[in-house]
Amino acid sequence: MRMPVAAIIVAAGASSRLGQPKQLVRVDGEPLLQRAIRCAREAGAMPVFAVLGAYRERIEKAVQFGDATVIANSEWEEGLASSIRAGVGAMDARTEAAGVLLMTCDQPRVTAKHLREMIEAFDAQRETPMIASIYAGVRGTPAIFPRAMFADLLGLRGDRGARGLLVNASLPVLEIQFEGGEVDIDRPSDLAELG
């Protein structure tokens, strides 16, 4: 039996273009961050980590984390890479996971079914690949990185996520279609389109 896949939900940004914390935007009555945690848990990821930065205290009061662990990223203003480093560093110290499911909290179309499909594909491979969601012709998150890639994740810098690792892959990448993956919440107009 393979070791579990842990999940890291990157949710530390200030949502400056949106004008309110996107982590707390409600979709079907549920804050986006809480929804991401629930989907990761229902998909079988364990343990689940949520990396917070801006609005941390406000988010902690508004979201039910259950058994998910909150990681405080004091360097969140650097951008996405700092949250990935904080999450991977904390996760690696606490679990022997075979891989990490890296997620953002602002993809409202993500489902536990899609995440489970990714984890099952990861578990089924003998040669440990990266698993990327593919949408609008682009590889992106959610994505699973095997333990062999943790050093690469810890080496990320600036306001860049892990997409570069998926595009310039040193390991095989298995693509899983993610219908609606391109829908994210960045601007007030994105909220209007959600309906």
DSSP calls for 15-54: -TTTTS-GGG-EETTEEHHHHHHHHHHHTT--SEEEEEBT
Q: How many residues does the chain have?
A: 195
Confidence of residue 28 (pLDDT cuts 50, 70, 90): confident
Amino acid in the structure at residue 14: A
**Full-model pTM:** 0.91
Burial of 70 (0-12, 13-18, 19+ CB in 10 A): middle
pLDDT tens digits, residue range 118-172?
A: 999 998 887 778 999 999 888 889 999 999 899 999 999 987 788 888 887 677 8
SS3 at position 142: strand
CATH code at 5-194 = 3.90.550.10
Supply 171's token pair: 């390991």
Taking the domains of the chain in order of start, what are their residue ranges?
5-194
As a whole number of angstroms, the distance between CA 153 and CA 13 comes to: 18
Mean pLDDT calculated for residue range 11-17? 81
